[in-house]
């Protein structure tokens, strides 16, 4: 990382961002959070709010009058601020596109003035409709048609990647892109459609766990502390600059099996209810059948491998799902 006084975390009041902030403070770093709390919550930062090494600016990046001063004194930027969740994307596609494109453009433009390294949090959604067994960073990407707003999130995050790499090529800005695969853990909410907190909340309440489609679609769930560890290692690795990395676990589980595991692990009496995608998401919704990352590149560059099992994630997360967070 470059010389500087603090590390900036945009979206630092969100689910992943708040865990990252805690980790950086524990490492002895000074941290500046920029978050408008549109989907995040300052409650997520309650454990560290009194830490004198933390400053919080509750504002959009583009509306932050002190952004230039903040970045001039920064040694690294974790850009996590984004519109998140399938439900939010479907209900507010304009906000999704504008937030993901404009706020990223602003942070990259200002960061390039001071050559502050930027780690851009992207998403496995950019792999789109590909039918591959596992996704590698160099794969071609297949995004769905524009009349299905479901793909606007993937497309906007992919444009963020293109823009970041353009700043790297044209202006020499040190950038790293991390494509996150289904990060889960305490403080995540089901409010925007995230599946594991939805299941846990229903199981704790004795309500039916709603599985969309046939439930045979598979995902790989990575514990948030493992994700944070990978992000920190990437930021601290100069060899990672200018590259794209998958971040997650390659342990697959079907959504129906996930529902069963949540019920079993939490000792719930809940049942499983199948709903069609059309019932929940509207006509024409398309889902990816598989979303498994190839992690060889991440492991080669950072020597990192996630260690937290899915059953353990459910045990840790189960009692702690009440905070209104992203």
Joined together, the tokens standing for residue 206 give 């004795």
Which residue in 153, 192, 212, 223 is the catalytic one?
A: 153
Owner of token pair 């942070």 = 107
Q: Where are the domains of the chain?
A: 6-186+222-251+290-307
pLDDT per residue, tens digit, the chain (326 aa), is 767 799 999 999 999 999 999 999 999 999 999 999 988 999 999 999 999 999 999 999 999 999 999 999 999 999 999 877 666 777 888 888 888 999 999 999 999 999 999 999 999 999 999 889 999 999 999 998 988 888 888 999 999 999 999 999 999 999 999 999 999 999 998 776 689 999 999 999 999 999 999 999 999 999 999 999 999 999 999 999 999 999 999 999 999 999 999 999 999 999 999 999 877 777 767 778 899 999 999 999 999 999 999 999 999 987 543 333 33
Q: How confident is the model at residue 4, as a pLDDT?
A: 77
Distances (CA, A) of 4 to 12, 31, 54, 117, 158: 19, 11, 15, 11, 29
- Answer yes or no: 153 catalytic: yes
Cβ neighbors of 98 (< 8 A, separation 6 or more) are: none
Q: How confident is the model at residue 322, as a pLDDT?
A: 38
Report the CATH fold assignment for 6-186+222-251+290-307: Rossmann fold (3.40.50)
């Amino acid at each position: 990382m470059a010389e500087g006084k603090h590390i900036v975390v945009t979206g630092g009041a969100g689910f992943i961002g708040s865990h990252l902030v805690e980790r950086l403070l524990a490492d002895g770093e000074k941290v500046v959070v920029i978050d408008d709390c549109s989907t995040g919550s300052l409650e997520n930062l309650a454990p560290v709010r009194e830490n004198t090494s933390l400053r919080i600016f509750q504002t959009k990046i583009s509306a932050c009058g002190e952004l230039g001063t903040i970045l001039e004194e920064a040694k690294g930027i974790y850009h996590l601020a984004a519109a998140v969740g399938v439900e939010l994307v479907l209900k507010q596609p304009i906000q999704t596109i504008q937030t993901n494109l404009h706020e990223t453009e602003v942070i990259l433009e200002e960061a390039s003035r001071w050559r502050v390294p930027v780690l851009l949090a992207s998403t496995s959604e950019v792999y789109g409709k590909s039918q591959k067994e596992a996704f590698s960073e160099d794969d071609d990407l297949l995004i769905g048609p524009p009349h299905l707003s479901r793909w606007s999130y993937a497309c906007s995050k992919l444009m963020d990647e293109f823009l970041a790499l353009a700043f790297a090529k044209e202006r020499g800005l040190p950038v790293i892109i991390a494509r996150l695969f289904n990060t889960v853990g305490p403080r995540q909410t089901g409010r925007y459609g995230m599946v594991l907190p939805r299941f846990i909340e229903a199981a704790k309440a004795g309500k039916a766990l709603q599985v969309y489609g046939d439930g045979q679609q598979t995902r790989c769930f990575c514990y948030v502390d493992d994700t944070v560890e990978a992000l920190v290692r990437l930021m601290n690795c100069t060899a990672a600059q200018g590259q794209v990395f998958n971040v997650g676990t390659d342990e697959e589980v079907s959504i129906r099996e996930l529902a069963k595991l949540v019920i079993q692990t939490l000792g719930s009496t809940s049942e499983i209810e199948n709903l069609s995608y059309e019932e929940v998401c509207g006509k024409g919704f398309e889902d990816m059948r598989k979303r498994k990352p190839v992690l060889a590149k991440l492991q080669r560059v950072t020597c990192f491998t996630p260690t937290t099992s899915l059953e353990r994630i459910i045990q840790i997360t189960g009692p702690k799902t009440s905070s209104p967070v992203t």
